[in-house]
Amino acid sequence: MAPMSGVTDPAFRWMMAKYSKYGGRDIGDHGKENVAGITPGGPDVIYTEFISADGLFLGDKDELLKDMRYSEIERPVVVQFFSPDPERMKRAASLAVEMGFDGIDINMGCPDRSVCKQGAGSELIRSPGLAVKMIRSVKEGSGGVLPVSIKTRAGYDSDDELEDWIGTLLNEDLCALALHARTRKDMYKVPARWDLIKKAVKIRNTLGVGTLILGNGDIDSLSDLHDKVKGSGADGAMVGRALLGNPRFFSGSPEPSPEERLGVLIEHCELFHDLFRERKSFAMVKKHFRGYVSGWEGSKELRSALMEAEDPVEIKRTIEEYLKRAR
Ligand SMILES: Cc1cc2nc3c(=O)[nH]c(=O)nc-3n(C[C@H](O)[C@H](O)[C@H](O)COP(=O)(O)O)c2cc1C
């Protein structure tokens, strides 16, 4: 499960764990789950949203700690940090150990102007020396206790940079390297190029290092994931946008009925509200609505009505009225 800012928040991570790993069974409430005796399915690893290490130590730490909350059912759970400053990344890594995360990922791929302007995210592709320093600092901060991984893109301006860039990273004895198969310049404008993942695997094999290569970009279903992994020779893959409004993605269960989907949407909205009511606008959870509410007759009208709702009570009422009319 790929890190996505404003998406893979504690509420959605919990929904993913419940509906993908535990098949949507009744496992109790957030933080009070009972999953005894159930063997969890995928996703194999869940990532948080990226967390600003500068924000943690120069800004409002308490607020960011709320984004870093996780529940036991998400494990293994990896926290992703970004910053241009190796020292603050080191402190962030120590905090991750303290908080009991299972791994630390460094964001070296974000193309957003606000992040790049700070010298973080994909900007590090243009500063390989700093990137190496950053990895070493994070390892130091983690005291060798947690695995360290990187998520990045195939280059800044051109994929000609791939070999040098990931060669530099792979020499740092990383646990995993997740590669989004586009350059920074590509943003999302061109299709992901899985031939670049294949190339990355080849580079890793030539170097003879044990770093796992995770391919990323444009996976739209579980079977697509398996095909892309097989075709590229990657050790695994990360899925991002296809998860929005689709917490069952990894379960492999048959397509749920509209009624089931709407039930999960209500649960998601209620959990988001419980966890974030004072802090985040309810509008943020609405980015999942297209995923939950599409593909059947009348779904577009229902989605428009739901977009107007201001809290989970209104969401529930709108859905109940819709279902009454539809029956
Ligand atoms: C809304 C959104 C937020 C994202 N936030 C992050 C982030 O915090 N950290 C990160 O490494 N990548 C982030 N990404 C990139 C995704 O993890 C992923 O690399 C990208 O969307 C391509 O995968 P996909 O085609 O499966 O979505 C974000 C993407 C989206 C759409």
Q: Which tens digit of pLDDT belongs to each residue from 45-72?
A: 999 999 999 999 999 999 999 999 999 9
CA distance 176 to 236: 10
- Give 262's pLDDT tier (boundaries 50, 70, 90): very high
How far does the centroid of ligand 1 lie from the alpha carbon of residue 122, in Å? 12
Q: Atom 3 (ligand 1): residue with closest C-alpha?
A: 4
Q: Examine the domain organization and report whether 127 and 267 are in the same domain.
A: no
pLDDT of 150-191, one tens digit each? Answer: 999 999 999 999 999 999 999 999 999 999 999 999 999 999
Q: Examine the domain organization and report whether 215 and 276 are in the same domain.
A: no
How far does the centroid of ligand 1 lie from the alpha carbon of residue 145, in Å? 27
- Give 225's pLDDT tier (boundaries 50, 70, 90): very high
Q: Examine the domain organization and report whether 121 and 207 are in the same domain.
A: yes
pLDDT of residue 99: 98
Of 201, 233, 251, the position where a domain reaches its end is: 251
**Is 4 among the domain residues?**
no
Of 192, 222, 251, the position where a domain reaches its end is: 251
HSE-CB at 80 with a 13 A cutoff on CA atoms is 27
Q: Considering the chain, what is the average pLDDT of its residues?
A: 97
Per-residue pLDDT, averaged over 72-78, amounts to 97
- Give 136's pLDDT tier (boundaries 50, 70, 90): very high
- Cα–Cα separations (whole angstroms), residue 126 to 109, 110, 149, 193: 11, 13, 19, 21
Q: Of all atoms in ligand 1, which is nearest to the CA of residue 109?
A: 11
**Is 118 among the domain residues?**
yes
Q: Atom 21 (ligand 1): residue with closest C-alpha?
A: 240
**Is 2 among the domain residues?**
no
Of 204, 230, 251, the position where a domain reaches its end is: 251
Copy the structure tokens of residue 267.
Answer: 């649960």
Q: Examine the domain organization and report whether 65 and 18 are in the same domain.
A: yes
**Is 63 among the domain residues?**
yes
pLDDT of residue 56: 98
Radius of gyration of the CA atoms of the chain, in A:
20
Q: Of all atoms in ligand 1, which is nearest to the CA of residue 178?
A: 19
CB 250 within 8 A of CB 222: yes
Nearest 5°: phi and psi at 180? -80, 120
Q: Examine the domain organization and report whether 264 and 213 are in the same domain.
A: no
- What residues line ligand 1, using a CB cutoff of 6 Å? 2-7, 49-50, 80, 107, 109-110, 151, 180, 216-219, 239-242
The answer to whether residue 278 scores a pLDDT higher than 90 is: no
Question: Tokens 């791929």 map to which residue?
Answer: 109
Copy the structure tokens of residue 55.
Answer: 């924000």
Q: Examine the domain organization and report whether 213 and 269 are in the same domain.
A: no
- Give 327's pLDDT tier (boundaries 50, 70, 90): confident
How far does the centroid of ligand 1 lie from the alpha carbon of residue 37, in Å? 33
Question: Of 299 and 277, which is predicted with more confidence?
Answer: 299
Q: Examine the domain organization and report whether 219 and 295 are in the same domain.
A: no
**Is 1 among the domain residues?**
no
pLDDT of residue 303: 98
How far does the centroid of ligand 1 lie from the alpha carbon of residue 140, in Å? 27
Per-residue pLDDT, averaged over 100-112, amounts to 98
Nearest 5°: phi and psi at 265? -60, -45
The answer to whether residue 103 scores a pLDDT higher than 90 is: yes
Nearest 5°: phi and psi at 216? -150, 140
**Residue 57 three-state SS:** helix
Percent of the chain predicted with pLDDT > 90: 97
- Substitution site in 241, 246, 288 for ligand 1 pocket (most atoms within 8 Å of beta carbon): 241
Nearest 5°: phi and psi at 79? -95, 135
- Cα–Cα separations (whole angstroms), residue 286 to 189, 259, 303: 24, 18, 10
Copy the structure tokens of residue 64.
Answer: 């960011």
Per-residue pLDDT, averaged over 62-90, amounts to 97
Number of Cβ within 10 Å of residue 142's Cβ equals 21
**Is 213 among the domain residues?**
yes
Q: Atom 31 (ligand 1): residue with closest C-alpha?
A: 241
Q: Minimal CA–CA distance to 248: which of 259, 258, 262, 261?
A: 261
Q: Of all atoms in ligand 1, which is nearest to the CA of residue 151?
A: 11
Q: Which domain holds residue 264?
A: 258-326
Number of Cβ within 10 Å of residue 279's Cβ equals 10
Q: Minimal CA–CA distance to 237: which of 319, 187, 179?
A: 179
Q: Examine the domain organization and report whether 247 and 265 are in the same domain.
A: no
- Give 104's pLDDT tier (boundaries 50, 70, 90): very high
CB 247 within 8 A of CB 19: yes
Q: Minimal CA–CA distance to 193: which of 215, 175, 210?
A: 215
Q: Examine the domain organization and report whether 225 and 288 are in the same domain.
A: no
